[in-house]
Amino acid sequence: MLFKKKKLILIYLVTLFLSKNTLSAEGMPQFNAETFPSQLFWLVITFLLLYICMNFLILPRIRDNIRLRKNKIANDIERSELLKEQIEKMVLDYESKVLHAKNQAYENRKNAVEKASHEFNLQLDTVKKRIIQKINKAENEVKEYKKNIENEVNSVSINLSSSILEKVIGKGLSKSDIDFIKQETSKMKEI
């Protein structure tokens, strides 16, 4: 049944197109059935020329442009990846150099502190030795001065005693008496 309907529609359309006055109008010559074969001929020629022009002139240029763009994009991507790798390498080199410089600065500072500490200790030891030498020298000088003063005090006191006795008694001490007094005072010092 469906086939019969399609067949009837097809027959109707063919008769419609083949009839001379069916679709023709005085103002519309393209609907005139007599001009259909020439219209179809020029339609085929026009589409063939358009197809040839598109296929052999326009599309190859478009394909070349697309290919060039793809190549350029691929080259740009490859170049950018190379630059990225170089930048990463430079960053790693920079970081390693910075780390090395920090370590070097730390070592230099540490060595300088140790050297300064060592020099300070040496100078401090030198100053301490000088102070000890001066203290020992001063103590020796004080001991010498004390001995000299004691000797002078003893001799002055003996001379004074002798002078006082001479004035009081009228007679001075003899040399043997002076020696005896010196011996007694030295014994008293030892005790």
Average pLDDT across the chain, whole number: 83
Residue 27 falls inside a structural domain = no
Whole-number percent of the chain with pLDDT over 90: 51
> How buried is 181 (Cβ within 10 angstroms: 0-12 exposed, 13-18 middle, 19+ buried)?
middle
**pLDDT tens-digit map of 41-74:** 999 999 999 999 999 999 999 999 999 999 999 9
Q: Which of 56-60, 142-146, 154-158 has the highest mean pLDDT?
A: 56-60
Domain interval for residue 51:
40-172
Alpha-carbon distance 94 to 28, whole Å? 83
Residue 31 falls inside a structural domain = no
Residue 6 falls inside a structural domain = no
Neighbours of 36 (CB within 10 A): 14
pTM over 0.75: no
- The answer to whether 161 and 173 have CB atoms below 8 angstroms apart is yes
Number of compact structural domains in the chain: 1
Question: What is the pLDDT, as a whole number, of residue 48?
Answer: 95
Helix (H, G, I), strand (E, B) or coil at 108: helix
- The answer to whether 177 and 169 have CB atoms below 8 angstroms apart is no
Residue 35 falls inside a structural domain = no
pLDDT band of 190, cuts 50, 70, 90: low
- Tokens representing 114? 């140790």
Tokens 């179809």 belong to: 40
